[in-house]
Amino acid sequence: MTAFASPTDLCRRRAWVFCLLLFLAGCESFAKGVTSAVLESRGADEDLRLCSAEGAPFPGILPYLEKLDALPPIDPANPGRPQVKVLYVHGIGTHEPGHGVQLMRNLATSLSLDIQAPRHKRIELKSRVDPAAELGEVNLYRFTDDSRKRDLVFYELTWSAINQDAKDAVAFDDSEVYRSRRASINQAIRTFVNDVTPDPIAFAGNTGGQIQLSIGQAMCWMWRGTWSDLPEETAGETCDPDEAFGSRATIDDVAIITHSLGSRATMDALQSVVRRVDDAAVVADPDVRRLTDALKERKIQLFMLSNQLPLLEAGQDHQEVTGATQTYCGPDAPKRAQRFVKSLQMVAFSDPNDVMSYPIPAEWVDRYVDSRLCPVVSNVTINIADVNSLLGFGELADPLTAHTGYGADERVGGLLAQGIGKGTAASIVQERCTWFETDDSLME
């Protein structure tokens, strides 16, 4: 007997088709008119997207720059002058140098830094163990203001090439032999899947260590010197312990911005260093010790866009030290000399309509993050993609935009620049975002 679909099943199938169309609209600029034709959009002048932050207050990057206002203007003859440095680490998918420019300009605008160096500088990353290994590159961009006192250097890390072999393994699938067998929409989905799926698989397999090393080398160059210390092109060199190693760790303020898989890779890179910081070889090396001692007194903000830490925790080994922040963190902590940093402010951004990102509850951090990082948790729940009515079938937000659309969002720029909960939030954040502070003393 033939089974007939119920009206409910038909509605679900239609909604699923619309979901695919919208997904592809974001992925491949597929028929942009489809989105406007299918969705009943809200008025263009009305932004009702969710923006809510909770947890510990975080200051953003602006206070770092404000400290420079008391200093003389930028002068190449003054190499000891502090700089503010921001490292950006991308996530899944193929990325080319320049991938962070939209986010970078959003941040610079939010910080009122409207003057930039006419050219960027490039560092080709190399491994001392295997010079032939692909580690990617870092491109540096420098910004200041009219007074020439505020000095920000944006470090854009591109590690995508590390996973190119993994993507080459399925490259045959894009040949006409296989493309011709698929419907056009299904082929667009397949192209997207072939580009992004190998990344987390390869990261969990044999390239995770290389990606962590790439991030470690980027951090090493960031703490090693200033913009002026670098030529426009640095190639064939590794950042190794020497008299300059970590020399800027007590001088420059640093923030890290990550996206998607980049958050997992960055946390793994940090935690792998934490596990080795008390090794005999590290303790005995004065150059390395200079950096580790300096970091114990530094606060670092880690902004994780489209955060995936909980999802990518699957299959990970547990950290050596968890649930013990009171033992390592704070002025009276009995093991404060063994912490890695004074605090790591983890700010997780997630769009609830992004099927691949998650908030990080405080109890999750307590269980899975190394306590020696002294983690402090904040969560930003934000609609990056518009939520629209789907012709009576319910509401829908484009999941790809929800995952990848952070770069141009002014609220994101405002939160990165001026934080929230400190009484100095950007005007757009004050207007469109709500804030709920958590207080541990209320548990007593």
CB 353 within 8 A of CB 387: yes
The 10s digit of each residue's pLDDT in 349-392 is 999 999 889 999 999 999 999 999 999 999 999 999 998 877 66
Question: Which 3 state secondary structure label does DSSP give 339?
Answer: coil
Residue 4 has pLDDT above 70, yes or no: no
Say what the pLDDT of residue 274 is: 93
Nearest Cα neighbor of 271 from 316, 239, 240, 308 is 316
How high is the pLDDT of residue 47? 80
Q: Above 60 in pLDDT, residue 16?
A: no
Q: Are 379 and 385 in contact (CB under 8 A)?
A: no
Are 211 and 279 in contact by the 8 Å Cβ rule? The answer is no
Over 80: is that where the pLDDT of 37 sits? no
pLDDT band at 45 (very low <50, low <70, confident <90, very high): low
**Residue 188 confidence (pLDDT):** 86
Residue 2: per-residue pLDDT:
40
Residue with tokens 């770069």: 407
Q: Which pLDDT does position 277 carry in this prediction?
A: 84
pLDDT above 90 (res 32): no
Q: Are 159 and 214 in contact (CB under 8 A)?
A: yes
pLDDT at 324: 96
Report the amino acid identity of residue 440.
Answer: D
What average pLDDT does range 145-150 have in this prediction?
Answer: 97
Six-digit token string for 311: 């999802």
Sign of the CA dihedral running 297, 299, 304, 308 = positive
- The Cα-based distances of 206 to 93, 112, 162, 203 in angstroms read 17, 42, 10, 7
- What is the rounded distance in angstroms from the CA atom of residue 115 to the CA atom of residue 8? 57
CA distances from 109 to 62, 102, 145, 411 (A): 12, 11, 11, 12
Across residues 5-22, what is the average pLDDT? Answer: 44
Residue with tokens 């509605």: 11
pLDDT, position 18: 44
Q: Where are the beta strands (DSSP E) in 94-215?
A: 115-116, 121-124, 137-144, 151-158
Q: From residue 247, how far is each of 20, 226, 291, 340 by CA, in Å?
A: 51, 10, 7, 17
Of residues 328 and 133, more confidence is placed in 328
Residues written for the chain:
444
Q: What is the pLDDT of residues 290-324, one digit of tens each?
A: 999 999 999 999 999 999 999 888 878 889 999 99
Q: What is the pLDDT of residue 34?
A: 44
What pLDDT, in 10s, does the model give residues 227-252? 999 999 999 999 988 888 999 999 99
pLDDT in tens, 153-166: 999 999 999 999 99
| pTM of the predicted protein model | 0.89
pLDDT for the residue numbered 23: 47
Q: How confident is the model at residue 110 (pLDDT cuts 50, 70, 90)?
A: very high
The confidence score (pLDDT) of residue 138 equals: 98
Q: Can you list the positions of beta strands (E) in 83-177?
A: 84-89, 115-116, 121-124, 137-144, 151-158
Q: Which pLDDT score is estimated for 28?
A: 42
Whether pLDDT at 186 is above 90: no
Work out the pLDDT band at 38, boundaries 50, 70, 90: very low
For the chain, the average pLDDT equals 88
Q: How far apart are the C-alpha atoms of 245 and 307, rounded to whole Å?
A: 31
Give the model confidence (pLDDT) of 405-441 as tens digits.
999 999 999 999 999 998 889 999 999 999 999 988 8
- Check if the beta carbon of residue 396 is closer than 8 Å to that of residue 39: yes
Q: Lowest mean pLDDT: which of 187-201, 258-272, 300-314?
A: 187-201
66: Cβ–Cβ under 8 A, 6 or more apart, which residues?
A: 150
Name the more confident of 80 and 33.
Answer: 80
